[in-house]
Amino acid sequence: MDGLRVEGLGKEYGDVAAVGDLSFEVRPGEIVGLLGPNGAGKTTTLHALAGLVHPTSGRAYLDGVPIERRKALVGFVPEQPEVFPLLTVEEHLGFVARAYSLAPGWEAAGRAILRRLHLEEVSDRVGGALSKGMKQKLLIACALLHQPKLLLVDEPMVGLDPAGQRELVQSLREVKLEGTAVLLSTHILSSAEEICDRVVILQRGRLIAQGTLQEITAQSGSLQEAFLGLTEAE
Ligand SMILES: Nc1ncnc2c1ncn2[C@@H]1O[C@H](COP(=O)(O)OP(=O)(O)OP(=O)(O)O)[C@@H](O)[C@H]1O
Ligand SMILES: [Mg+2]
């Protein structure tokens, strides 16, 4: 199967089971929301898929290949937008292009991404002089530059103003149209409702529900009601 397939993923920190027996899929061109209360295991799941932590159990595959062998095809945007303080926005893209050995011509793609995220006007500004939302968008631009097949985004809406949130939603929709599989964690259920095709809901590291927005909201009407009903029932 193409896209991301997660099979029985688990991660323990000492005796804390951060994630256990987690299985789900994200198909190409699909945006899946990873939802759950604080401490549910969303960041741990994204870190395991991005290769930042070693899972204790389970496997994940991207286009049928173990994901640890497909790192060049994965883009990851962390929750804390940490950028290089002394590199300009443009230089960040240059850094990524070199790190991924991108073919000549990446500059045009980079400029298009900066334009789409409204970062063009700050392309000469150094990382240390960017606002939190701009840093967030810069890291998204960096994660998109190498045209990943899987984009992992941790809490992308936090710190973005309403215009920034709208641009981000628009950008994620474009990424989706290009056939990229997108997995994003968020607490902002209205955004999840707006852009996600499906959601995966975690609680205490376990999957408690997954389905299309329609399936999840069929009984309660809104994603918020469904989420609260599911997580409070546990
Ligand atoms: N490095 C670590 N060492 C020990 N425990 C950890 C570590 N990272 C996470 N945990 C624990 O794993 C569990 C899941 O944490 P995680 O950060 O994945 O949750 P989350 O769903 O991203 O939460 P939030 O919504 O607050 O971002 C929590 O109990 C957390 O305390
Ligand atoms: Mg988190």
Q: What is the pLDDT of residues 7-50, one digit of tens each?
A: 999 999 999 999 999 999 999 999 999 999 999 999 999 999 99
Please indicate, yes or no, whether residues 40 and 153 belong to a single structural domain of this protein: yes
pLDDT of residue 171: 84
Using the atom order of ligand 1, give the atom closest to the CA of residue 155: 27
**Global confidence as pTM:** 0.94
**Residue whose CA lies nearest to ligand 1 atom number 31:** 39
Q: Can you tell me which atom of ligand 1 is nearest the CA of 44?
A: 18
What pLDDT, on a 0 to 100 scale, did the predictor assign at position 117?
85
Average pLDDT, the chain: 93
The pLDDT score that the predictor gives to residue 234 is: 64
Same domain for 160 and 47? yes
Q: What is the pLDDT of residue 166?
A: 85
CA of 16 to the centre of ligand 1 (A): 9
Name the domain count of the chain: 2
pLDDT for the residue 198? 97
Whether residues 154 and 117 fall in one domain: no
Mapped to the 3 state alphabet, what secondary structure does the chain carry?
CCCEEEEEEEEEECCEEEEEEEEEEECCCCEEEEECCCCCCHHHHHHHHHCCCCCCEEEEEECCEEHHHCHHHEEEECCCCCCCCCCEHHHHHHHHHHHCCCCCCHHHHHHHHHHHCCCHHHCCCEHHHCCHHHHHHHHHHHHHHCCCCEEEEECCCCCCCHHHHHHHHHHHHHHHHCCCEEEEECCCHHHHHHHCCEEEEEECCEEEEEEEHHHHHCCCCCHHHHHHHHHHHC
Per-residue confidence (pLDDT) for residue 223, from 0 to 100 = 93
Do 15 and 64 lie in one domain? The reply is yes
What domain range includes position 112? Answer: 84-145
Please check whether residue 77 lies inside any domain of the structure: no
Q: Which residues in the chain land under pLDDT 50?
A: none
Examine the domain organization and report whether 21 and 118 are in the same domain. Answer: no
Looking at residue 75, its pLDDT comes to 95
79 found inside a domain: no
110 Cβ closer than 6 Å to some ligand 1 atom: no
Which ligand has the minimum distance to the alpha carbon of residue 47? 1
Whether 106 and 139 map to the same domain: the answer is yes
Domain co-membership, 31 together with 107: no
